[in-house]
Amino acid sequence: MRGEETTKDIPATHPRHLSLMTRARLTEGVRQGMTSFDGLIAHGRGEAFDYLLGERTHDFALRSIEAATAHFLTADHPVISVNGNTAALVPAELVMLAELLDSPLEVNIFHPSPERELLIRDHLIAHGARKVLLSEKEVTLPFLDSNRRFVNSRGIYRADLVFVPLEDGDRCEALIRSGRKVITIDLNPLSRTAQTASVTVVDNIVRALPLLLDRVKQLNSFAQTSLHEILESYDNRSVLYEAERVLRGEEGLRNKRK
- Which one of 18, 30, 139, 206 is in contact with a second copy (CB under 8 A)? 30
| Of 10-18, 95-103, 110-118, 132-140: span binding a second copy (CB under 8 A) | 110-118
- Which one of 137, 138, 225, 254 is in contact with a second copy (CB under 8 A)? 254
Q: Which of 85, 256, 62, 52 is nearest to 168 (CA)?
A: 85
Q: What is the DSSP string of 45-70?
A: HHHHHHHHTTSS--HHHHHHHHHHHH
- Which one of 99, 122, 160, 244 is in contact with a second copy (CB under 8 A)? 244
What distance separates the 2 farthest-apart alpha carbons in the chain? Answer: 64
- Which one of 7, 17, 44, 232 is in contact with a second copy (CB under 8 A)? 44
Report the C-alpha gap between 169 and 155 in whole angstroms: 20
Please state at what angle helix 59-74 crosses helix 224-233, rounded to 10 degrees: 140
Q: Is 56 in the site for a second copy (CB under 8 A)?
A: no
Site track for a second copy across 123-162, x = CB under 8 A: ------------------------x---------------
Q: Is 258 in the site for a second copy (CB under 8 A)?
A: yes
- Which one of 37, 76, 137, 221 is in contact with a second copy (CB under 8 A)? 37
Backbone angles phi, psi at 183, to 5 degrees: -105, 130
* 29 Cα distance to chain centroid: 16
Range 173-212, binding a second copy (CB under 8 A): 188-190, 195
Residue 133: strand, helix, or coil: strand
Q: Is 253 in the site for a second copy (CB under 8 A)?
A: yes
Q: Is 13 in the site for a second copy (CB under 8 A)?
A: no
Identify the burial level of 156 via C-beta atoms within 10 angstroms of its C-beta, where 0-12 means exposed, 13-18 middle and 19 or more buried: buried
Dihedral sign for Cα atoms in the order 97, 99, 102, 103: positive
Angular region, 55: left φ>0, alpha ψ -120 to 50, beta rest: left
| Of 35-43, 129-137, 150-158, 225-233: span binding a second copy (CB under 8 A) | 35-43
- Give contact residues for a second copy (rule: CB under 8 A): 2-4, 23, 26-27, 30, 33, 36-38, 40-49, 51, 111-113, 116, 147, 188-190, 195, 235, 237-238, 240-241, 243-245, 248-249, 253-258
